[in-house]
Structure 1
Amino acid sequence: MTSTLGKKLRESRKQASLTLKEVADKAGFSTGFISQVERGISVPSLSSLRAIAGVLGQPISVFLEQPSSADATRASDRVSYRVGDGALAYERISAKFEGSTLRSVVVHEPPGHRNEPVSHEGEELFFVLDGELTVEVEGVPTVLTRGDSTHFDSRKVHSTWNHTSQTASLLWCGTMDVFGEDAIEPVHKNEKRKGG
């Protein structure tokens, strides 16, 4: 539940002796967005939760239980999961092994959903499996349709928006540890990023 996630984040922030503003500044979001997440009003995306957890000095796995790694997955066996009771649904498709740096999930983004702008270390690749999606990188929007892709430096402020009336599905591949299996990564602070 979103309220449980918010409560865990708030307790972790207080244990770290951080204010809402300090977490917001370090993660690169607005204070209002962090407050809404803690109160269960807003649900962060997987990458945004990862950024907040990093500021709190915790792996994402403290706040979110995700499917375990498997070398191969069949579509019928994959588990769909969400951050809290958020709108985005995820299916893990990458495995974890010694030396691996690539993570990947299938993301199902509902009509009208807009992700908060974010930036962090690493790189990302989006490949649209079904539907249409607007991807904005450094303020430049690009509409991607089925079969289209984009690959970019994750340090650039980026977000997605499903501007249609149909669910959009995309393959997300990146180097950010969205599963909380590695050591905590540094957070890339970006003053231009805003959330909420």
Structure 2
Amino acid sequence: MSTVTDKIKILCADKKISAAELAEGSSLSLEQVNRICESDEIPSLSSLIKISRALGVRLGTFLDDSEQIGPVLNRSEEHHQSVTFTSHQTNSNSHMDFISLASSKAGRNMEPFLINIQTENGNETCSTHEGEEFLFVLEGSIKVRYGAETYILNKGDSIYYDSIVDHLVTSIDDNGAKILAVVYSPS
């Protein structure tokens, strides 16, 4: 079982919130919540943001390893474990590996990630959640579907958007892409 799933279950138990109440509070279906709670995989970022709001905790609560009050420093030579968020509706976003750059920072309001994006081969399901996102392309090229618009971003390009609008980020070639993403989710 993933530590994210364990943390969701512990928080629900501590707050005496049933799966049905979590589903209602997060605007997810009861079936989705049950799949999330019974899975070894980490839920989609969108679902996790909705669950964090329903439980009244920061998104980072699910990703924290330890809590540091001061700054968190990441050295380029250090190897960081990546996390692959999944969708419990489809396999969307399984083409993205997230490396948290601040998992040990206490009280943070932003979630900075390095994301390795593989070529999407299948269902392209858009995501939507409260907050904002900033993406900066480090390697390769990406396609960002944002509402009815599509944007192509190359190395050095960036985009900042409200994540309440349907959006999807994919690599546009077989080599994949690497981006820096900063996600803000209001608490």
TM-score band (shorter)? 0.5 to 0.7
1:53-132 matches, within 5 Å, as 53-66=52-65, 70=71, 72-77=73-78, 79-82=80-83, 88-92=97-101, 103-112=111-120, 117-121=127-131, 123-132=132-141
Asked if the contact 1:128/1:145 (under 8 Å) is kept, the reply is yes
Structure 1 residues not aligned, in runs of 5+: 178-184, 186-196
Question: Which residue identity does 1:74 align to in structure 2?
Answer: R
Deviation digits for residues 72-123 of structure 1 (CA, Å, limit 9, x no counterpart): 432113623326897523140699699x8554221222332767512213x2
SS in 1 for 2:50: helix
Compared CA separation, residues 34 and 175, structure 1 to 2 (3 A): same
Residue aligning to 2:91: none
Compared CA separation, residues 143 and 25, structure 1 to 2 (3 A): farther
Percent of matched pairs sharing the same residue: 21
1:136 paired to 2:145: yes
CA distance in structure 1 between the partners assigned to 2:166 and 2:129 by the alignment? 5
Return the offset for 1:148: 2.3
Residue aligning to 1:180: none
What number of residue pairs does the alignment pair up? Answer: 174
Quick check: 126-135 or 152-161, which moved more? 152-161
Question: Which residue identity does 1:27 align to in structure 2?
Answer: S
Asked if the contact 1:49/1:60 (under 8 Å) is kept, the reply is yes
Return the offset for 1:41: 6.5
1:142-181 matches, within 5 Å, as 142-162=151-171, 164-176=173-185
TM-score by length of 1: 0.64
Of the two structures, which has the highest relative contact order with CA contacts closer than 8 Å and spacing of 6 or more?
1
